[in-house]
Chain A
Amino acid sequence: MAEMNLYNAQFMDHVHNPDYKYQMDDVTCSHEGINPSCGDELTFSIRLADDGTIEEAAFTGHGCAISQASADIMSDLMIDKTPEEAIELCKLFMGMVRGEVTDEAELAKLDEAQLLRDISHMPARVKCAELAWRTLEEMLEEHCGKAAEEAM
């Protein structure tokens, strides 16, 4: 029953009252991610500040509670991070939910996203938790390079 803790009050608050679920203005870069088997759809957007850090992050879309809460928590974590730092955090998060990274000091970098650590015991839901992070990583690595350079 350990996983029952996943759907706790703090997690459900992100589901019911997301701070970062809205259509943002002055987007530097945005990217759509989908989980075809679940019907989860998510568009993630960022705006980069003059110093190249992420100054605003937001998402739109729909999906299960895990994909939605995960996107909200991720958005908060990404503010003030450089794209390189953001990519590192995405890789770390995916390592955590797949159960490949268990080092506490490493995982501490994920801050509130550690709420989703129990996903590593729920293999069927890993894709849901990863959706936002996979979308952001893809965006920064493959689709956002030019836009980011121009913004800088």
Chain B
Amino acid sequence: MSLSPSELDAIRENPYRADFPLLAGNPGIAYLDSAATSQRPKSVLDAEMRFYETMNANALRGLYRLSVEATAAIDAARAHIARFIGASDPAEVIFTRNTSESLNLAARSLGKLLLNEGDEVVISIMEHHSNLIPWQQICAERGATLTYLYLDDDYRIPASELDKIGPRTKIVSVTQVSNVLGVRNDIADIAARAHAVGAVCVVDGAQSVPHIPVDVAELGCDFLAFSGHKMLAPMGIGVLWGKRKLLEAMPPFLTGGEMIDSVSEQSAVWAPIPAKFEAGTQDGAGIVALGAAVAYLEGIGMAAVEERERLLAIALTDALASLPFVDIVGPVDGSRHVGAVSFNVQGIHPHDVSSILDMNDVCIRAGHHCAEPLLKRLGESSTCRASIALYNDLSDIDRLVNGLESVWKVFNG
């Protein structure tokens, strides 16, 4: 697969890089690790600062102007984020610290509601540890079984594997995009299979929400977890979206301040959602900044983001495939990749590759990418991973290629 001259021109141009202070201030750096964390545009950093400079007060609690403004800003951001993912009810958006916390909330709380001895949770082998360990834990606690959907040789979950979703299945939790392979799962199909047996469908959207249009109504899932820091917002703010009916039935995850209606010496009555799941003071500035990140992405349009990144992923995969000493781990068809491409340099440990690339100012990730069971299944102990975002351009990929040639030269003369 190769790109046309006009497609190459589109990703040679970069109208976005200047919006990102870290990238603008370090023109020599090729940042290809956005699957780990993205960079943030100035508008997001300003929004975070503005919260503290102009409306800092504890939201919800104070009966004075500053607190009321902080509360209004958080409510507005919540509604904005709900619209962004196609959710009709802002109260279904629960703020957490990150995807890991969102999935822990889902596993703990849904597990207590739904799982009994002999029940089953189904996940895929390509899950990040964040969508794996919480289910391991709750299954062990409830006497339930954790079942895996495996991949075919083409890195897809085949229909035959989906037959594992059966009458004992209570929860199916799958990532929309793999953080290692970059491949996309057909969530609408998986959600339909889950619902057909009366199971709940949870989706890890950490690697999809930043890169492609995601609409929970179209996906038909019951929960969607994602992180702000991978989608241009600050570290420390994340989201769990869930269907009202389920969220209302679920027991709380963390307890304490602000998540109650009333408390007596021996019992408490939970507040309505979303407050029921948001114990303690929330990261108001982070929430407002996440709203600003969503506004930045909407300003470009998620369809345009997806198209630019599709071209970048094809260019990246093609460039890696053209190096005879590089093996791609995952599909060699670049159009199958959302964000990330994993690879190895023959005979060279990924950590050495990453260190020598770093000496060339190219930032990639090397390791097991918090997906050890997947790597074991693929027969790898670690891989290199280059990942892109909308602010990358063709020069970043050229720098990666030059860096990899330098890696090869260091080891093979």
Contact = CB atoms under 8 A, between A and B. Distances in A.
Interface of A: 1, 3-4, 7, 12, 15, 37-39, 63-66, 122, 124-125, 128
Given A7-B410, A39-B381, A39-B382, 18 more contacts: A1-B359, A3-B359, A4-B356, A4-B359, A7-B352, A7-B356, A12-B410, A15-B411, A37-B367, A38-B351, A39-B368, A64-B350, A66-B351, A66-B355, A124-B351, A125-B351, A125-B355, A128-B351
A64 B359 contact: no
B29 to A, nearest CB: 14
B107 to A, nearest CB: 24
B355 A122 contact: yes
Most buried by B among A12, A38, A66: A38
Given A37-B368, A38-B367, A65 B381 contact: no
Contacts of B348: 65
Contact of A65 (B349, B359, B382): B349
Contacts, number: 39
Nearest to A5: B359
A128 B351 CA distance: 9
Interface residues of B, number: 14
Interface of A is mostly: helix
B411 A38 contact: no
A74 to B, nearest CB: 18
19 contacts: A1-B359, A3-B355, A3-B359, A4-B356, A4-B359, A7-B352, A12-B411, A15-B411, A37-B368, A38-B349, A38-B351, A39-B382, A64-B351, A64-B352, A65-B348, A65-B352, A66-B355, A124-B355, A125-B355
Interface of B: 348-352, 355-356, 359, 367-368, 381-382, 410-411
Contacts of A64: 349-352
B411 A65 contact: yes
B337 to A, nearest CB: 24
A125 B32 CA distance: 20
Given A12-B410, A12-B411, A39-B368, A63 B356 contact: no
B246 to A, nearest CB: 36
10 closest A-B pairs by beta carbon, nearest first, are A39-B381, A64-B349, A64-B351, A65-B352, A7-B410, A4-B359, A64-B352, A39-B382, A3-B359, A38-B351
A128 B396 CA distance: 28
Contacts of A1: 359
A151 to B, nearest CB: 35
A13 B363 CA distance: 27
Nearest to A127: B351
A128 B350 CA distance: 12
Contacts of A38: 349, 351, 367, 382
A64 B349 CA distance: 5
A65 B410 CA distance: 11
Contacts of B367: 37-38
Contacts of A3: 355, 359
Most buried by A among B355, B410, B411: B355
Nearest to A2: B359
A129 to B, nearest CB: 11
Nearest to A41: B381
Contacts of B350: 64
Contacts of A37: 367-368
B236 to A, nearest CB: 23
A41 B368 CA distance: 15
A140 B367 CA distance: 30
Contacts of A124: 351, 355
B215 to A, nearest CB: 37
A78 B368 CA distance: 33
Contacts of A125: 351, 355
A118 B410 CA distance: 17
Nearest to A8: B410
Contacts of B351: 38, 64, 66, 124-125, 128
Contacts of B352: 7, 64-66
B31 to A, nearest CB: 17
Contacts of B382: 38-39
